[in-house]
Chains A and B, each alone.
Chain A
Amino acid sequence: MEPILKVKNLKKYFPVKKKKLFERRKYLKAVDGVDLEVYPGETIGLVGESGCGKTTLGRTILKLYQPTEGSIIFDGKDIAKIRGKVLKDFRRQAQIIFQDPYASLNPRMKVKQIIEEPLIVHGYSRDEREKIVDEIMESVGLNPEHKFRYPHEFSGGQRQRISIGRTIALRPKLIVCDEPVSALDVSIQAQIINLLEELQDTYKLTYIFISHDLSVVRHISDRVAVMYLGRIVEIADKKEIYEKPHHPYTVALLSAIPIPDPEKERNRKRIILKGDLPSPINPPSGCRFHTRCYKAKERCAKEEPKLVEVSSGHSVACFYPENT
């Protein structure tokens, strides 16, 4: 099958404010050479620690940020440099759901206006819009009678439903879900995850699902990509990556998640990483993870490992992978 999205060597650098007048301009390398293929109908989970570049990657793929380098092939066309009408057409097919159900809805617009907005932008008639808004509200589990209410009259979970409604109004093919449940209570998380799964079945959606919660990602994804400091360090089918993680970072990440089962929890071996995520302005030499890695050898500080496929569909960027 042809991928719906093919990202090659994608980079996004943000200029850093100069502290001194004659300093050389520095760049924060938020995304620094990402290759990724996404197939129609699948959910690809994107995990990694805070600040590793997940959001930036998601937004750059959607051209909310102009890429610094690299190509983004969507449906066979490179969209990295498109503008105007072609860009608008792309926007109809690729959408985003944000993390914060409070900041992502305009507090001054009624629910109907919010869901209708993309339809207006893309020139739907009044009657069509009327019909679609009702349909959408039902399908995201909101009562269409509430369409004249403002976002503040809804709970966090319901607001995320509104936000999802706006996203699917144009029937996009690809949706970047940027931590759509992280701000929600555990009991509400499950409602939204189920909703996303139902919508995927109904509308044949493709998801890039960003989260730092590996349990949520395990549940919803078909494949999982692990990011570290602007790079993808491991990518594999869900089952593979959770059962046979290769990259020491993935192993540490998986071991760090507490499991709600006291017996299992007590008998688990935990790998405690030293230190924090290094700065993306001056990433470490060689393998970016070597400063925190429990397996690091001399070579890791000098040479940079490439992301290579070690078994079918399972790629890892490490000289000394685990479980192989």
Chain B
Amino acid sequence: MAILKVENLKTHFFTEEGLVKAVDGVSFELERGKVLGIVGESGSGKSVMSLSIMKLIPYPGRIVEGKIYFDGKDITQANESEMQSIRGNRISMVFQDPMTSLNPVFKIGFQLVEAVRVHKKVSKKEALDMAVKILKEVGIPDAEEAINRYPHEFSGGMRQRVMIAMALINDPDILIADEPTTALDVTVQAQILDLMNRLKEEFNSSIILITHDLGVVAEMSDEVIVMYAGRIFERGSVEDIFYKSRNPYTYSLMRSLPRLDVDQKRLQPIKGNPPSLIRLPQGCPFHPRCELAKDICKKKVPELLKVGTNHYSYCHFAAELEFNGGKVGTHS
């Protein structure tokens, strides 16, 4: 059974400028031991979706509709104390900026011990041993000594490892990583991704990996969700998305990338900018930027159509289209 099942989730922000439908009808399932990659441009709702799963949506937002089944139980109905026993214990999260999510005034050993003792009845000594063990596991040299250091005494890459250690110390069922490597250099990113891969095997945790880097998604994910304007535009296995995409947005995104492995004369950008969520275009929200847009796209909102086993696309023409974005340019 899936460890996480999200059904028609809608998270809206009631702002002064208007209603922001940051997440607007999202459904997916996550199996144990699998990695789900979520990609999309800035503002497409990736972070809000993950915060919704943690029930940590900032004011003035709230879940207005939908269900989130975690281990069979709908946590949209859970109260705050139930959520607290889940957060950091069974579902944990790694944020993009490792500096703001570690408390600068406490030693990291103390922070790790606290993370354990909030959820488990263990002695300080035992918790400290766990902290040292997990730090070793994420590749912090001299872990015994490192627990006595403050966050600022670590480099960005090291801090991110500490964050991951903290997220994993309670052996969670789900690790949500929101752009865990965006602030890091590629060589450090490679270290972190390598680490996440090893940990997944070891703990059999499921990972939700949010990023805007399609390369990272290709490397890490089993399944992929492509988001645009708060909706799922395409969902499927990593092969489906990269080689047999049924959605023009997915393909446009892949085609616009400069690539390390292919020569391109001119890049093919997506024209215009992502829309404001307050004033979405009528019909398909992508239609003003879509090259294949027809009349119907301007008028009618598409549906998420099933186009294969576990492969869905949000496009009026999903049945007729197929793109190979992973091999863009290689054959021409």
Direct touching of A and B (C-beta under 8 Å): yes
| Residues of A participating in the B interface, judged by any CB pair closer than 8 Å | 49-50, 155, 157-158, 185-191, 193-194, 197, 212-216, 218-220, 242, 252-266, 270, 272-273, 276-277
- What B residues does A193 contact at CB under 8 A? 258, 267
* Inter-subunit contact A189/B256 (CB<8 Å): yes
Cα A218 to Cα B269 with chains together (Å): 17
CA distance A261 to B41 in the complex (A): 19
Whether A260 lies near B188 (C-beta < 8 A) is no
Residues of B within 8 A of A258 (CB): 193, 213, 215-216, 218-219
* Residue in A closest to B249 when the chains form the complex, CB atoms: A187
Give the top 4 A-B pairs by smallest Cβ distance, nearest first: A258-B215, A190-B269, A219-B258, A190-B267
Residue of A nearest to B194 (CB): A272
A selection of 13 A-B contacts at a CB cut-off of 8 Å is A49-B186, A185-B41, A186-B41, A188-B273, A189-B256, A190-B256, A190-B267, A190-B270, A191-B271, A260-B217, A260-B242, A260-B326, A273-B190
- List, in ascending order, chain B residues with CB within 8 A of A155's CB: 273
**Which residues of A are found within 8 Å of B214, using beta-carbon distances?**
186, 260
Q: What is the CA–CA distance of A276 and B158 in the complex, to the nearest angstrom?
A: 8
Which residues of B lie under 8 Å from residue A190 when comparing CB positions?
256-258, 267-270
Chain B residues positioned under 8 Å from A214 (CB to CB): 186, 260
Of residues A191, A194, A197, which shows the largest number of chain B Cβ atoms within 10 Å of its Cβ?
A: A191
Interface set, chain B 150-195, CB cutoff 8 A to A: 155-158, 185-191, 193-194
Interface string of B268-285 (1 = CB under 8 A from A): 111101100000000000
Residue of B nearest to A270 (CB): B190
Taking a contact as CB atoms under 8 Å apart, the answer to whether B186 and A253 are in contact is yes
- B-side interface residues toward A, CB under 8 Å? 41-42, 155-158, 185-191, 193-194, 212-219, 238-239, 242-243, 252-254, 256-261, 264, 266-271, 273-274, 325-327
Contact B274 A256 (CB under 8 A): no
Contact between chains at A252 and B187 (CB < 8 Å): yes
- Please, how many angstroms separate the alpha-carbon atoms of A263 and B260 in the complex? 15
Distance between A222 CB and nearest chain B CB, rounded to angstroms: 13
Among B190, B259, B269, B271, contact of A260 (Cβ-Cβ < 8 Å):
B259
Q: Are B266 and A194 in contact, CB atoms less than 8 angstroms apart?
A: yes
Q: Could you tell me if A257 and B260 are in contact, using CB atoms closer than 8 angstroms?
A: yes
Within 8 Å CB of A186, what residues of B?
Answer: 41, 212, 214, 253, 256-257
In the assembled complex, which residues on chain A have CB atoms less than 8 Å from the CB atom of B191? 272-273
Tell whether A265 pairs with B186 under 8 Å between CB atoms, given A187-B252, A242-B260.
no
Note all chain B residues with C-beta closer than 8 A to A242: 260
- Shortest C-beta distance, A142 to chain B (Å), equals 13
Closest residue of B by beta carbon distance from A260: B214
A283 and B242 CA atoms in complex are apart in Å by: 43
Please judge, given known A-B contacts A187-B269, A194-B267, A272-B191, whether A256 and B261 are in contact too, CB under 8 Å: no
**What is the CB-to-nearest-CB distance from A56 to chain B, in angstroms, rounded to a whole number?**
17
- Contact yes or no, B274 A185, CB < 8 A: yes
Partner of B326, one of A188, A197, A262: A262
Cβ-neighbour of B155 out of A157, A197, A276 (below 8 A): A276
| Distance, CA A157 to CA B274, complexed state (A) | 11
Closest to A48 in B: B185
* CA distance in complex: A277, B185 (Å): 10
A167 to B87, CA, bound (A): 49
In the complex, A189→B193 CA distance in Å? 24
Complex Cα spacing A194 to B270, Å: 12
Cross-chain contact A212 with B186 (CB below 8 angstroms): yes
Q: Once the chains bind, are A265 and B218 in contact (CB under 8 Å)?
A: yes
**With the chains together, A260 CA to B250 CA distance in Å?**
12
Bound CA–CA A242/B259 (angstroms): 12
The chain B residue sitting closest to A273, CB to CB, is B187
From A212, A216, A260, give the contact of B215 (CB < 8 A). A260
When chains A and B are docked, how far (Å) is the Cα of A262 from the Cα of B243?
Answer: 9
Query: For residue B158, which residues in chain A have a CB less than 8 angstroms away from its CB?
Result: 276
- Given B156, B194, B238, B258, which contacts A216 in the complex, CB threshold below 8 Å? B258
Shortest beta-carbon distance, A102 to chain B, in Å?
13
**Closest residue on chain A to residue B241 by CB atoms:** A262
Looking at the assembled complex, report how far the CB atom of B256 sits from the nearest CB atom of chain A, in whole angstroms. Answer: 4
CB distance from A263 to the nearest CB of B (A): 7
Give every chain B residue within 8 A of A216 (Cβ-Cβ). Answer: 258
Are the C-beta atoms of A254 and B260 separated by less than 8 Å? Answer: yes
Tell whether, in the assembled complex, residue B261 and residue A261 are in contact, meaning their CB atoms are under 8 Å apart.
yes
- In the bound complex, residues from chain B placing their C-beta under 8 Å from that of A253 are 186-187
- Given contacts A49-B185, A186-B214, A262-B242, whether A197 and B266 have CB atoms under 8 Å apart is yes
Q: How far is the CB of B214 from chain A (nearest CB, A)?
A: 4
Q: How far is the CA of A191 from the CA of B255 in the complex (A)?
A: 12
Complex: A187 Cα to B243 Cα, angstroms = 19
Q: Can you name the residue of chain B whose Cβ is closest to the Cβ of A51?
A: B185
B285: min CB distance to chain A, Å = 14
Contact A259 B258 (CB under 8 A): no
Q: Is B185 a contact of A212 with CB atoms below 8 Å? A: yes
